C-alpha cells in the first residue's frame, strides 16, 4: 500500500520460531507475544510467566504486563482476546495503522481491520537490515559454524574408524554402521558446543542424488557419503551450515573426477563473490563451468541430474534467508552479506557430491568463515 501512513510496526509471534521477532527483541520465548515499535520506542507485552525474564533479557525500551491490560479491559466489560488487547493498546497511543510482516496471523489481521484499524503488510523483508550482518552477528554465526565443523569431524572420525566387510559394508563395533548412528554422534557434538541440529543429512550412494534426502540405513564402502549439518545456537539463535562428501575406502575414477569438478566449481564461485555482483551471475558462472566440463544438468529417465539447486543462500537467524545465489537472484551482493557456497553434482549410478562453506562478503571480496578441510577418501 504505497504512500499509506504507518503509525507503528507490529509483530505477534513466538520468538523461538519467528526470526523477525527474535531479531527485534533478542529474547527467546516459545509462546506468541506482542511487539510494537512506535515513535522510535520498542515495547513488548508479556504474560506473567515471561514478564520478569523479559525485563532482564529483552532488548526493548518497555515491557508491559498483558494481565494488567486485561484487567483494564475487564473494567470495561469487554471480551478479552489479543485483538481487544491490541485495540486497547493502540487507543492509548493514538495508533490507527500498523505495518506487519507477511506471515502475520490472518485471523488477527482481519479482526483488527473489522475494528477500524489499518493493517498494512510489507512485501519483502520486514527488517531489510537483517541481510547485512553486524560484527556481533558474524561472531555468533562463526561460533555456530565451529559447532558444525565439530559435528562433521565427529562423523568423519566415526566413518574412518569403521571396518570394511567382505560384502562392502561399513562395520562399527561388530555391527553395521548406519546413517542414524552417525547422525546421533553429530547431534551430540553440536550439543557439546551449545547448539542443536535437526534434519542432518548422512546420505550414502544413490540416496545422495536427492540433495535433501536425509539418508538412512547401513553405510557402504567405496561410495560417496554426503554429510550436511546445520546447527542452531541455543544462546543466540544463529545458524551454521557445512557440507562435505567423503568415501570410506576407494573412490572410482568417475567419482574422483566429480569431486574435483565440484571443488573447482566452488572455487569459481568464491572467485566471483564480491560487492556488486548478483547471485545470478555467481550461480551461472558455476553452471557454465560444469557444462564446459561436460557435467550437464537436466531431466533424464524422469529424474533430475547434474547441478539443479542454487549455489547458495543467506544464513543468519534463519537457515535459509536472503540473499540467494540462484538463477532468480538479480539483486547485487553487498558487504556484510553472509552466504553459503555449496555447488553439487548428482548422477544416479555414481552418487552425489556437494561441498559447502559459509562465506562473508567483504568490501573487497569475501572471507571464508569455514576452516574444515576438503578431501574425498578417508
As a dihedral over the C-alpha atoms of residue 96, residue 101, residue 105, residue 110, rounded to 10 degrees, the angle is: 40
Is the confidence at residue 261, as pLDDT, over 60? Answer: yes
Asked if 196 and 235 count as a contact pair (C-beta separation under 8 A), the reply is no
User: For 119-124, what is the mean pLDDT?
Assistant: 89
For the domain made up of 8-126, the CATH class stated in words is: alpha beta
CB atoms within 10 A of CB 217: 12
Quickly state the pLDDT bin for 347 (edges 50, 70, 90).
Answer: very high
Which residues are within 8 A (CB) of 124 and not within 5 positions of it... i.e. 6 or more apart? none
Collapsing DSSP states into helix, strand and coil, what is residue 308?
A: coil
Average pLDDT over residues 91-111: 97
> Is pLDDT at 1 greater than 60 in this prediction?
no
Residues 313-340 have a mean pLDDT of 98
- In the chain, the percentage of residues whose pLDDT exceeds 70 is 99
The average pLDDT across 248-264 equals: 98
Pairwise CA distance, residues 28 & 7, whole Å: 26
Cell matching residue 240: 551454521
With a cut of 80, say whether residue 345 has pLDDT above it.
Answer: yes
- Rounded to whole angstroms, how far apart are CA atoms 167 and 83? 65
Q: Where are the alpha helices (DSSP H) in the chain?
A: 19-25, 51-57, 66-75, 82-93, 106-114, 135-160, 179-192, 253-272, 279-292
**% of the chain at pLDDT higher than 90:** 95
- Taking phi over 0 as left and psi of -120 to 50 as alpha, with beta for the rest, 79 belongs to beta
How, if at all, do strands 97-100 and 8-13 pair? parallel
The predicted model gives 267-284 an average pLDDT of: 98
Q: pLDDT category, 123, cuts 50, 70, 90?
A: confident
> How sure is the predictor about 75, in pLDDT bands with cuts at 50, 70 and 90?
confident
At 305, is the secondary structure helix, strand, or coil? strand
C-alpha to C-alpha distance for 140 and 142, rounded to whole angstroms = 5
- Per DSSP, the chain holds a count of helices (H) and strands (E) of 9, 23
All CATH 3.40.350.10 domain ranges of the chain, comma separated, are: 8-126
What pLDDT is attached to residue 3?
A: 57
CATH 3.90.230.10 residue window(s) in the chain = 131-368
| Mean pLDDT, rounded, for 220-226 | 98
Query: Nearest Cα to 195, choosing from 227, 156, 238?
Result: 238
What is the DSSP secondary structure assignment for residue 49, as one 8-state letter? T
CB 259 within 8 A of CB 353: yes
> Which residues contact residue 14 at a Cβ distance below 8 angstroms, ignoring those fewer than 6 apart?
21, 29, 30, 31, 32, 33
Per-residue confidence (pLDDT) for residue 79, from 0 to 100: 77
Q: What is the signed CA dihedral for 199, 205, 210, 211, rounded to 10 degrees?
A: 60
pLDDT at 4 over 90: no
Class of domain 131-368: alpha beta
CA 352 – CA 157 distance, rounded (Å): 21
Kindly calculate the radius of gyration of the chain based on its CA atoms and give it in whole angstroms.
24
Beta bridge partners of 297: none
Could you tell me how far CA 210 lies from the centroid of its own chain? 19
- Pairwise CA distance, residues 255 & 221, whole Å: 13
| Averaged pLDDT of the chain | 96
Cis geometry, peptide bond prior to residue 205 (ω within 30 degrees of 0): no
- pLDDT at residue 13 tops 90: yes
Q: Are 37 and 9 in contact (CB under 8 A)?
A: yes
Q: What is the spatial distance between Cα 194 and Cα 231, in angstroms, rounded to a whole number? A: 9
Statement: residue 327 has pLDDT above 60: yes
Do 339 and 359 touch, CB atoms closer than 8 A? yes
Amino acid at each position: 500500500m504505497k504512500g499509506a501512513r504507518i503509525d507503528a510496526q507490529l509483530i505477534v509471534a513466538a520468538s523461538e520460531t519467528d526470526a523477525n521477532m527474535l531479531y527485534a527483541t533478542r529474547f527467546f520465548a516459545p509462546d506468541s507475544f506482542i511487539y510494537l515499535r512506535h515513535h522510535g520506542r520498542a515495547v513488548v507485552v508479556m504474560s506473567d510467566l515471561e514478564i520478569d525474564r523479559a525485563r532482564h533479557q529483552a532488548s526493548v525500551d518497555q515491557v508491559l504486563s498483558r494481565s494488567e491490560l486485561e484487567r483494564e479491559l475487564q473494567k470495561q466489560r469487554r471480551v478479552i482476546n489479543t485483538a481487544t488487547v491490541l485495540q486497547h493498546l493502540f487507543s492509548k497511543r493514538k495508533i490507527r495503522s500498523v505495518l506487519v510482516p507477511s506471515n502475520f496471523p490472518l485471523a488477527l489481521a482481519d479482526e483488527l481491520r473489522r475494528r477500524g484499524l489499518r493493517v498494512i503488510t510489507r512485501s519483502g523483508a520486514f527488517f531489510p537490515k537483517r541481510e547485512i550482518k553486524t560484527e556481533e552477528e558474524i561472531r555468533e554465526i562463526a561460533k555456530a559454524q565451529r559447532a558444525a565443523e565439530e559435528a562433521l569431524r565427529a562423523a568423519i572420525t566415526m566413518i574412518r574408524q569403521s571396518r570394511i566387510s567382505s560384502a562392502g559394508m561399513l562395520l562399527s563395533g561388530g555391527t553395521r554402521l548406519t546413517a542414524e548412528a552417525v547422525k546421533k554422534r553429530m547431534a551430540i557434538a553440536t550439543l557439546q558446543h551449545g547448539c542443536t541440529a535437526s534434519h542432518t543429512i548422512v546420505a550414502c550412494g544413490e540416496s545422495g542424488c536427492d540433495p535433501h534426502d536425509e539418508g538412512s540405513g547401513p553405510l557402504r564402502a567405496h561410495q560417496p557419503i554426503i554429510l550436511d549439518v546445520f546447527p542452531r545456537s541455543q544462546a543466540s539463535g544463529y545458524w551454521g551450515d557445512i557440507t562435505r562428501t567423503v568415501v570410506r575406502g576407494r573412490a572410482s575414477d568417475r567419482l574422483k573426477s566429480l569431486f574435483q569438478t565440484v571443488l573447482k566449481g566452488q572455487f569459481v564461485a568464491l572467485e566471483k563473490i564480491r560487492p556488486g555482483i548478483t547471485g545470478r551471475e555467481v550461480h551461472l558462472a558455476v553452471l557454465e563451468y560444469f557444462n564446459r566440463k561436460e557435467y550437464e544438468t537436466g531431466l533424464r529417465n524422469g529424474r533430475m541430474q547434474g547441478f539443479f539447486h542454487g549455489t547458495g543462500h543467506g544464513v543468519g537467524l534463519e537457515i535459509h534467508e536472503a540473499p540467494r545465489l540462484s538463477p532468480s537472484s538479480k539483486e547485487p551482493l553487498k558487504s556484510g552479506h553472509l552466504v553459503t557456497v555449496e555447488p553439487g553434482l548428482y548422477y544416479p549410478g555414481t552418487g552425489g557430491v556437494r561441498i559447502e562453506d559459509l562465506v562473508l562478503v567483504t568490501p573487497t571480496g569475501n572471507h571464508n568463515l569455514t576452516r574444515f578441510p576438503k578431501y574425498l577418501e578417508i
